Amino acid sequence: MKEISHSIYGSCNVQFSNEVSRLSGTALSLTVMFIAEAKLSLPGSSIILESLSFHIAAVLLRELKTTYPTAKSLNHNERRRIKDVINYMHEIYSMDCTIRQLAKIAGLSCYHFIRIFKSNTGKTPYEYLTDIRVEKAKQMLTDKRYTITDVCMECGFNNPSHFTRLFK
């Protein structure tokens, strides 16, 4: 699901709402096909099952209520602008940046940028940048050469206690 979410929305932090939803005929028929194929265990079944699982995941992301917008809620230009900002955030995660800088990259006012960013990602720019930093910290902590303080500073956290609290 994370892989499909990243392909569609540029983020793998999908969160579904806790609501009962009625699935479309497409989702139901794909699920029936998946179950039937899984029971058959014929040559090539693994390829078909993988393909169906990707298809089902994409349909669910489109149909179920998530933190992501529907395709109609953001125009192509706004999605591109937010994707540009997200790419920038991945490049500069270790440095401080302001909403004003990010909004300027997107070519939007600060207020409009925050609103569009949150509707696109489900998070504020600060929350999104913090998630990037924590993910980078996780990667660095697997390498025994770095101390926690090194990781904290390298990932853009200026205070080790703040870093520890966010990391937990």
pLDDT tens for each residue of 126-153: 999 988 988 888 888 888 888 888 888 8
Whole-structure pTM value: 0.54
7: its two tokens: 């392909």
Least confident of 10-19, 58-67, 85-94, 125-134: 10-19
Residues 6+ apart with CB under 8 A from 33: 52
| Residue 111 or 162, more confident | 111
pLDDT of 87 higher than 90: yes
Handedness of CA 9, 152, 100, 127 (dihedral sign): positive
For residues 64 and 57, give the distance between their C-alpha atoms in angstroms, rounded to a whole number: 10
- Looking at residue 23, its amino acid is L
- CB 50 within 8 Å of CB 44: no
Q: Which domains does the chain have, with CATH numbers?
A: 2-63 (no CATH), 76-167 (1.10.10.60)
